[in-house]
Structure 1
Amino acid sequence: MATRSDPLAPYHAKRDFARTPEPRGKAAKPAATLQFIVHRHAATRLHYDLRLEWGGVLKSWAVTRGPSLDPGDKRLAVEVEDHPLDYGSFEGTIPKPGYGAGTVQIWDRGAWAPLHPDAVDADLARGEIKFVLSGERLKGGFVLVRLKPRAGEPPERHNWLLIKERDSMATPGEGDAVLKAETSVASGRTMAEIEGGKPEGRAARAKPKPPEAMPANAKPAVEKAAAPKARKAAPAAKADPAAMPDFVPPQLCRLVASPPRGETWLHELKLDGYRVQLRVAGGRAALRTRTGLDWTHRFANLAKTAAALPNCLLDGEVVALDDQGQPSFSLLQAMLSGDTKPDYVFYLFDLLHDGTRDYRGDPLLDRKARLAELLRGAPKSLRYLDHFTAPGEAVLASACRLSMEGIVSKRGDAPYASGRNDSWTKAKCRGREEFIVGGWSRDKAGKGLGALLVGARRAEGLAYLGRVGTGYSGRTAEMLLARMKPLQRKATPFAGRQPERTSDVTWVEPELVVEIAYGGWTDAGILRHASFIGLREDKPAEEVVADDQPLREDPPAEKPAAAPKAPRPAKTGPTGARLTHPERIIWPETEGHRALTKGDLAAYFERCADRILDHIAGRPLSILRAPDGIGGEVFFQRHAMRGQSPLIGAVEVAGQARPYMRIDDVAGLMALAQVSAVELHPWGARADRPDVPERLVFDLDPAEGLGFAAVAAGALELRDRLKALGLTSFARVTGGKGLHVVVPLDTGGKVPDWAATKQFARLVCGMMEKDAPGRYTTTMAKSARTGRIFLDYLRNDRLSTAIASWSPRARAGAPIARPIAWSAVKPTLDPAGWRIDALIGKPAAADPWTGFEAAATPLRAAIETATRPAKPAKR
């Protein structure tokens, strides 16, 4: 369509400028605002030419039937040659028989903003670009999608589809109504008047002012992608009171690994709610989402309260606060769905317009100062979001300690710029993003929701990124099923890699967006330890794009002053968390095994993080700590402590005065290494459903002097008894002299409570004791264990724990508890044969518990089988 040396070469080659009134033009430097124009063109057939300014030219498409405001209409848009920027003001008649002969009218014009300003060229190359128009007739979101070429079509011909986004500017069923406008937005003339040579009016000759819906200062981020050497954007124009925009595309944040450094940066808490723009004019308030959807009716109470404010356009976040005063997204969703009485709080953090002038070109600090004045004395539900000037890392640590999502860092001297750029960043406490639902799997009972199958968009289509099977209550699961039912489809919506199991999957149209917390990614690019947070109704699926790149480095501070070098920490974990005293010996040297330090413990946690997290992530957790090594004071910690690392979460458990600990990612493991946690003891339930047993654990503990051969025989016997009851079990050596038999339980439908689960475990152990009282005992007293194996069923209780697979043990030589295959359970097995020092320098071992989750079986059927009265013997 254009050449690298002259993008307008095709345009010039097709025209005889001695005959045509069209401007010759040349590629120009970008202006302060990106313009768009729609020409109505009566050539061989009437059509509309959409032109978007980019890279100093007008990218152009011929829309055969004209643009539509109905999202259901897909209008063919044929890509044509780039036009010069001067063409934006052209209106007249091209004489025959020249190229494009016919009358040309400026049917609409205004400003446009790409959804991803730094990726416009990449979006055009891959064939899909999303943008917002702010014209006199066309407003809101649109998308251009390139079609695959048909057989026989010339290779230079590119057909696209122009589609209106579903937003507050859309008019479903009335998409063509906008085309009834007959006059030019520039001259006021009809096509016939232009063809007849009627002169423009005096007002029409005046150069139009830049549209107010797209701020001039939004341009720098756009220019960066289009022309790196372009001049700096002009300051934002000051608007008159009547020109206060209805809506401004919001400024967005870039995700960074850690907060930026420098005195120019301000830091705000990242709130867990819906981004909303408030417009107050003449005593009426309107609230719109980040994509321009009108949600005034959904936040009716806030709108009523905000109507008392003076005229203004404000940016902020609507949240719901829990009993502790913390933002809760799940509570916000409950309010929006009508399950809970609405009690919203609107945190406002930016002023765009005060009804008298446009503030978007002013520095952030000035805008916030004016905002604070405007909100002085405002009702309690309208709150000013203050900021912090302390170092970003310190603010982030405090935010994580408060269980916040993270922080947003903003340059205090920067203007407000729609779109994503380097002056706003966000750093999170834990992986948490939006994903698109592409299907769902059934629970073990085959009736309810087992897991959501989620993904995100890439160039090749919707990429599958994993399953999410936790985080939602029974009521939430029912709501999700109701939302997904009308979206069912026959074929997978995922392109490329598919889920491993699809026999139990119901596919859905990729329209629902959910927010997911997760602990990381597997080597294959699948979510690890994913947990459902909530449904995102404010974000369209088209915006959820997979990020294949690592997190961006911190934006550079402007010429920072030289600072004295800080002492380097002795060791840092993968998250940058400091590890103090890594040289401290935790496991002293023994015969055949070297001494292991706190640094070695951290290295082991990092090396085997995926394996360990499979068994402890998302569960209430107790730990055994050895601050001075296993030869010093060792103590068991069950509860979260005041002042503990913000990387260690807290779990409120009903009936318990203090919260339990929880970790979900490698950063949490490193925080445990910092406090010398040498043993990890998780619950048999998840943190979001602590009253639902998810696994059975039988501990075979041999008496002193009893060899492992007896333990192996007992474990195999227990395995067979459980199998006869319909349960699949797995073996784990404990790093000592015993062995665990672990049974995964199906948690779908109505499940037995902890009391019934513990009673069943006791019943199974009691049967073994009754059949072989000389080999087994269920009595805890050591005097009763002589020569026998203690069958410990007491770990199957609500507050009970068991050592985690891959956890170290506080024993000489640093052994670990390790899952093993049943084929390895032999009399000659050394249950303490796997040790930390042998695993630190090796790749993480394969998990021998393949299919553990898939083997989960309902316990109720096993209880019924075990308690069924025996049939009388036949005579």
Structure 2
Amino acid sequence: MKRPLEKYAQKRKFTKTPEPGPKVVTRTGPLLFIVQKHAARRLHYDFRLELDGVLKSWAVPKGPSLQPGEKRLAVEVEDHPFDYASFEGVIPEKEYGAGNVIVWDCGVYSPDEGSEYSFGDREEAEERLRRELANGKLSIFLRGEKLKGSFALVRTTTDKQWLLIKHKDRFVGPDTLLAQNTSVLSGATLDEIAAVAARERFSAGLLAPAGPAESLPRNLSPMLAESGDEDPMTQADWSYEPKLDGYRVLAYIDNGEVFLQSRRGIDLTPMFPEVVEDLQRQCIDTMLLDGEIVALDGDGRPSFHALQNRAQRKSTKELTAARRENPVIFLCFDLLHFAGMNLRGATYEERRRYLTQCLLPSAHVQLIHTSDNAEQMYGASLASGFEGIVAKRRDSVYQPGKRAATWVKYKSTRTGDFVVGGYTEGRGGRGKLGALLLGYYKNKQLHYVGHSGSGFTDQSIKQFLALASTLETKESPFVGKPPLNAPATWLTPDLVAEIQFDAWTPDGHLRSPVFLRLRDDIEAKEVRSGPDSKPAKTKAAKTPANDIERVVQQLDNKSQQLELVLDNWKLRLTNLDREYWPGDKSGKTPPITKREYLRYLARVSPFMLPHLRDRPLTMIRMPEGIDGERFFQKHWEQAKPEFVETVSVFSEHKEGRHEYVMGNNLPTLLWLGQIGTLEFHIWHSRAKVAADSKSKSTDYDSSIEAMESSVLNYPDYLVFDIDPYIYSGKEAKGAEPELNKKGFAVGKRVAFWINDLLKEMSLTARVKTSGKTGLHVFVPIERTVTFDEARHICEMVGRHVMQAHPKEVTMEWAVVKRTGKIFIDYNMNVRGKTLNVAYSPRGVPGAPISMPLTWEELEAAEPGHFTLRNVLDRLEKAGDRWHDVLSIKQNLAKVFGSKR
């Protein structure tokens, strides 16, 4: 009888490959699944399931899919050792499977036939899986970062060939899955993994939840954060989360029963039935989550006031209305127990991975976002209406009920929580509120810190007096006698108020205290916010972090007319609710207004402006929106704001000087949006001399000869414009091809052929979607060749590709001769020719974006995947794929030698 890993060992020389040796392990806890992306002779995805101490393995050439019913071939290969689960790196040339490997996804899995799960019972799970494997049909439920939900593995008539199929459930999704091309461990792509700094390899046993066995604990208290005394700054080994303005909640899931426990141990379960319902669908026996329940106001921002209003509704009828009027979300930031395992001793970094894998997001249960950049997270949190951020050490363990220095909160204002020991009478005598008498506990005694009589609303006064009427007492609860300026009503010190204040006075009192709200989620005896503590020292309330956020904040004004004002510029905006892109006919997708478009331009500006800067711009303007008049505008001859920079260029067609706008700064970008510029088309050369430019002349406008000798005649790129002329059949007679999947798929194939040829020439290329039907391949170069020379090089490359693939590629100028093929337009390498800039929208329905991609992302890309409404989220998660496009310039003289 063969040993389980004999085939694996026979195929490898472990003195030459970094892959782990053939070792069978014995483990406890849920079973692991792993997907490794592997650039061997052919790119494929290795799908592996832990069973009986090894990894059962299948090679999936096209990768998994979230499309229900999509059948992906999965070829069964030899079993791999469990330790292979965390392997990523480079298998050397001439070795079996030579190529780069990353851990594309990982998590836990269970058989799920009949919606019965065995996450917490390994023995039962393996027994079920052995039986299903022998029968040639596995039904499994995956909990990974990228793959979630139910899948089937079905053997075909050929022993080694199976099909991997996504079952129809709430986790189905668009076919953009494979565009997520980074490792879930290192964050590297396949191309980057070889250069990742040497580090200790992850333990395969820690890839998914692992911890000592325990019964589901009861009545834990949440871990608390200390207050930061400075503005937050990015530090190594820390992660950052938004600080939420809601109810801190521990959510217990126990065999279908859900219990929501507040920070004070109060049962909140009846208040939030929609959260309970979603938690009941987590498909797990036992689970314990830590997070915060927030309520959203009418603008979709978190509001503690809305949450308190929601908490007052108790009857079934009131709760039904509340679910509609004040929706709540449970935002989870920690996983403390899963499937019979105690995870509190794992590090924050590990618990975060486990939470990302194991949580099944839904409408009312979501995973909180994290970042490694404190300043960006702080600015984004304030702009989104959150209180600030919480910093957490990645190596910290969870300490229930303790306030630890490994968690630090930074709030947007200086606030503190104080015990209410009484109140003074206001005008009208007893029963009228003058000011709250505030204190904090030190050595079990309540110390007076001042009184607050401002910040109240009629509703908050009414709420406070109703609560206070049940707490009246004859004796002052404070140690010592507080100074009073009016008769006082003393209270049993059970109420806690959040107070905003400027500073502590030398005698330990609050300076300029303002009432914010009552806190029913904090126990009075926990309050230690005295002058010896360190509340956060921060900026003014909700101050945006930079010009972009200040612009976005001003655009939140609902007025149709608005003057944007910043330190050194002003811009008048009009018709802000004009529809630039109409919504769809079903009404499910709302229109994109000028206001939303300007928000997009502001937020995308850090990514878009580097590609616009110093380049003559051709505007495609649609002042009434995409259904109105549209026109090209190259030259600007009217009055313009002072912040708009221009360049004067000699035109060989119109003989004379003409002024072009350049998109050099944020206010110019917003001004262009205000006047209806919905597409930004730019030259491929820049009006700026730098070290890489052969020409040092900036005389662009005295004559055609001067222009041809200037730096503007030397492009930054070789450009290949790939246009599919494969028709959908729905076009009007004589019209250009409209977007269709077949045409775009063949266009991608041609882009890969061009890239392969360029690689053989030792040239690195970048790619982006055009935003419509095509693709743009750019080769960043030093500015040492003219446009004529660049065009000649691109024509040579294009003709080589066409000769190799004559059935798919054409370079014919007659449109009728292009039908059914992909047109490579090398004539874009002409001075004055333009293409739309990276991140520019297009003036067609759906507001698609010209999106920079990696070559790996292109595999699964469709132009409809990238729109004005989703591109910012992609940038936040994946970053700017063209951030270095102007710094990786290549010297063509070295490539072509003496041929130039």
TM band (smaller chain)? 0.3 to 0.5
- Normalising by structure 1, report the TM-score: 0.36
